[in-house]
Amino acid sequence: MPGKGLCSQATNALHYTLGVTIAGMSASRTLISIAVAFGALGASFYSHGQASSSAALAQAIGKLGAGAAIVPVNEIGKECGPVPKTASLVSVDLNGDGLTDAATLVKIRETGKVVPWNGAQLREAEFAFAIYLAQKDGTFVRTFIKRFLDYMPVDSFIGPVPTGTVHNRETNRDVTIAHPGVMLVHCGKSAAAYYMSGNRVHIIPTAD
């Protein structure tokens, strides 16, 4: 698609170095399929209760714009290959306070730009990866946002990252995370793990 650099139909076979430790078995620096990895992790996290697409979360997301909404999984591009159930909404306790937080992939608005591509008309839209922390009163407060432009269907998705070690591709070091995190994947381009320590969101580049 336009603006997607070298992203190609071969993305389904693309492998990322996640460097995660699961149940004491280190997969650090091991090349594994992003789709297979997130499929397995996603199923585990999903079984603990998919995050509340509750009125409270919808209200918090709505502050991004009148038409802002979580991206339906079937609107994620084919370049990403198979994606987990958590591809646009991950429900985990990100900061260890016992409440279920939400990491979201949101479509904010269409820009009005349309370009021809392989016989189709692609519409550009503004998207956001946003993290919302659950509050004791049942509301959600946004603590992090990354906005980006892409064509529809969007070639990005998110998935859960378990506690343990995550390999930082840039520093070539392992980082230990105490609470579950979230991986943001821009298919065929890059991937990074996001996790919380204290009140801050930290980013670990895992692939480029």
Res 47: pLDDT:
34
Res 78: pLDDT:
86
Res 45: pLDDT:
42
82 upstream amide cis, omega within 30 of 0: no
The low-confidence residues of the chain, meaning pLDDT below 70, are: 1-53
Res 89: pLDDT:
97
DSSP 55-77: HHHHHHHHTT-TT-EEPPGGGB-
Indicate the residue type of 35: A
Res 23: pLDDT:
32
Per-domain boundaries in the chain:
9-207
Q: What is the pLDDT of residues 93-113, one digit of tens each?
A: 999 999 999 999 999 999 999
Which region holds residue 118: left if phi is over 0, alpha if psi is between -120 and 50, else beta? left
Res 187: pLDDT:
95
- In whole angstroms, give the CA distance from residue 166 to residue 175: 5
Task: Enter the pTM of the model.
Answer: 0.79
